[in-house]
Structure 1
Amino acid sequence: MHTAINMGGNDINNAGNLNGQKATVKGDITSEDGWLITRNNKGWMNTTHGGGFTMTDSQWIRAVNNKGITTDGEIKGGKVSGGTIRSDGRLSTGEYLQLEKTATAGTSCSPDGLVGRDSKGAILSCQSGVYHERGGWLKGHHSGMPYWAQGSTTEMRPKNIAFNYIVKAS
């Protein structure tokens, strides 16, 4: 046959294979027990919104036009990588958190609340735009006396107690 067929809205049933160059349909395309198979750097695309999925090599599935992917479910994988990973809730790990790059205490940072590590692995915290070491320690001689008098609710402050100490805290 060397001409177009107008089926007048009727079906074509019991066809073995349909071969051709293009198919344009107005409704859904449904496959029972089959795949949507594409070749040659093609995939699925939504022309209304300019997004979809494609494969241009044997390693990665890519979002067309670098569109984001969203789900209320989960995204799982052996490794998730990228420039920035953001969570609107808590970020948790089933093992350890490994910070690869190092920072230096006393240097500038942004934003406040950023957590880093120094070259020895000690945790640093960005406070008021500067990396600070955590905690502090007592250095020198101190009595070890508690700040509260036994059997009393009166606080005994260091200025009222005779001992020598230096507190270094970040």
Structure 2
Amino acid sequence: MEVSKAQFQLLRKQGGFIAIEFMFAIIAFVTLCTIGANMLARYQDSQNYQIAAQQHQTVANAAAKYLKDNFSAVVAVATPTVPAQITTTMLRNTNYLPGGFGDTNAFGQRFLVLARSPAANQLESIVLTTGGETIDEIGTREIAENLGGAGGFIPTTNTSIVQGVRGGWQIALSNYGMNPGVGHNASALFLQDGTLVNDYLYRNAVAGHPEVNTMNTSINVNGNNLNGVNATNTTTLNATTVNTNVENATTTNTTGETTTGGWFRTTGDTGWYSQKWGGGWYMSDPTWLRAYADKSIYTGGQVQAGTLASVGRTTVGEYLQINGIASLGGGCASNG
């Protein structure tokens, strides 16, 4: 079969179009594969960033509990520029981290807790990553975002600070005497955990934070004593709800009523005293119940006694009724 010159030219043009279409198809396929590979790589990176943030948060939570429970010991060694250092090994050994928890994050960076004392009885603490891979700033920003408001990173524009998420806060690394360089993250425990004062009752006062020494619920000392109490001040004291002893208290002040199902006992020559009127009841020997300051006793009821003696004049407002009987010429002891 013979092909004319015109037909040959037409077939040649059609073949050229097919080749061009095939070439574009190959380009489109390669482009889609590249985009897909980049998306997959980005997804894998994002997964690693999330895992790193979760690992960081676990250390931060453990560090916050450790610092609360060991506040006095840590604040005793920390200074404004030389912080106390708490490692993951220390947190594992004290059971604040699980025994199998690793020392590094998904990028081989180690965790280090730094706690400095900017003022007396105060701690300012961060969890910092050191060593390992250098994460690009897109990654450190994403890790910080996953940590929430307490998350931060070391920016490339100023490697001397840790910058909080979206510029929410920043701290100078010189305060902590350590700078791991760009590609690392930090979280601020003093933001995350309210200066570490939310859940625990502190043994020592923390300046500017009276809430650390305030109970928000009833306390049960499980049958133990409260010893060496100097003063107890309360608006209501109901002794029926106190299941322990308070020993060696020098003063107990209450603005409400005080009740007990047992005795109110004094151990010396004292008793009940009216602060307002300066009188009361007390005993200073085994025989007499005495009115303090020689106060008078007033009642609209009866005063009953086995015998009644008066060292001074005795007066009555009506009649003196004698219920005894004396026979004429009989005896009447005693004389008088």
Max Rg structure: 2
Greater helix proportion: 2
Structure 2 length normalisation: TM-score? 0.27
